[in-house]
Structures are given as structure tokens and as C-alpha cells.
Amino acid sequence: MKKKIALDMDEVIVNIYDRFISLYVEQYNVVPNPEDYVGRKFYNVKGAENFRNYLFEPGFFLDLPIFEGAADVVEWLNTHFDLFIVTAAQEFPHSLIDKYHWLQKHLPFISWKQFVFCGDKSIIKADYMIDDHVHNLKTFDGLGLLFSASHNINENGYIRLNNWNEVKLFFEKELENEPVR
């Protein structure tokens, strides 16, 4: 039986910081200083205190860029593992429909049956969880994998995957280590 992976969207497959940076540049004609948001939330940048409001706007989540390498590796994972996209969507109600369409556009090989739009991820049971938030990994019973994002750069205690190439290498090793049945 294939092992189950619970895969987060925001800041794992979907690059929200990139969009925040372009919105900031549009508004202020200046690139935000990484020192103001690396290791913290983007809302710590002066002038971006209200950027969280964008998350409530219809269409915001529809148009976000995908991380480099993500589509190919997710497709590969989808053939070797029992993959589920597990994303907290209820907090931003418009994101539900936006995320549904985003997934169909960028990852069309994933069935709607594999979408898990949830609130609290502590309900999730799987073998692996890939997420950028430690609070989601803390309540997870399987193996939590921390996907690097600028806000989690100072977190320790989890296996860290820095990019999609590292995700592929990690799961290739997991497959090699599987006992032959």
C-alpha cells in the first residue's frame, strides 16, 4: 500500500511572499528589506501591516505563482504516494473556490478527491505532512517535514526541506528504504 502524504499549499506549492513583495513594490516603489520579514511574518515590514487583508479578497489565491520545480515533483509524488493537498482554507472563505481552480490549473493531474480544504489540521492522519508552519506539524502523528519559508527560518526540531529538489531527494530515499513486500 502506498504511504500517505498531506501536502500544504501556501508557502509550499504556492508562493505568497512573492506576491506580497510585488504588491509592496507597486504601492511604495521600493523593494522591502528582507531583514524586515526573514524569520518573521511579512506583516512586520513597515507599510505592510495590513497586507493580511489581501487574503480575504476574492481572487487573491487564484492568481498566485507556483514555486519552481513544484509541479513536476508533485506529479512524481502523485504516482508513488497516496497524495492529498491539505490546506487551511476556511479562514479566508473566498480562498476555497480560488484554491480549487488554482489546483485544477497548475496541478491538473490531481483529482478533486485529493483536495482536503480544512480548518484545523490536527484532524489529519497520514504518514507524512509537508508544511511551512510548525503549529501544524506539532499536532501531526506522522513524520512532519518543515518546508522552508522566510518566516520559519529560525525553527528547529524538524526535518527541513528547503526546496522542491530536496523534497524529491527525500522521498526517493524513503522509497529506497521501503521494505520489499
Residues that bind Mg ion (CB under 5 A): 8, 10-11, 132
Q: Which three cell numbers stand for residue 166?
A: 530536496
Asked if residues 69 and 109 have their Cβ atoms less than 8 Å apart, the reply is no
Given the residues 8, 98, 131, 132, the one annotated as active site: 8
Between 159 and 178, CB nearer to Mg ion: 159
Q: Which residue is nearest to Mg ion (CB)?
A: 10
Q: How far is the CB of 81 from Mg ion (least distance, A)?
A: 19
Q: Is 63 a catalytic residue?
A: no
Q: Helices then strands (H, E): number in the chain?
A: 5, 6
Q: Which residues pair with 86 in a beta bridge?
A: 116
Q: How far is the CB of 176 from Mg ion (least distance, A)?
A: 28
Amino acid, single-letter form, for residue 24:
Y
Q: Is 8 a catalytic residue?
A: yes
Between 8 and 98, CB nearer to Mg ion: 8
Given the residues 10, 98, 131, 132, the one annotated as active site: 10
Q: What is the C-alpha to C-alpha distance for residues 54 and 26, in angstroms, rounded to an integer?
A: 14
Q: Which stretches of 29-154 are DSSP H helices? A: 70-80, 94-106, 134-138
H/E stretch holding 50: none
Q: How far is the CB of 101 from Mg ion (least distance, A)?
A: 18
Q: How far is the CB of 131 from Mg ion (least distance, A)?
A: 6
Between 45 and 137, CB nearer to Mg ion: 137
Any idea which residues carry the catalytic annotation?
Answer: 8, 10
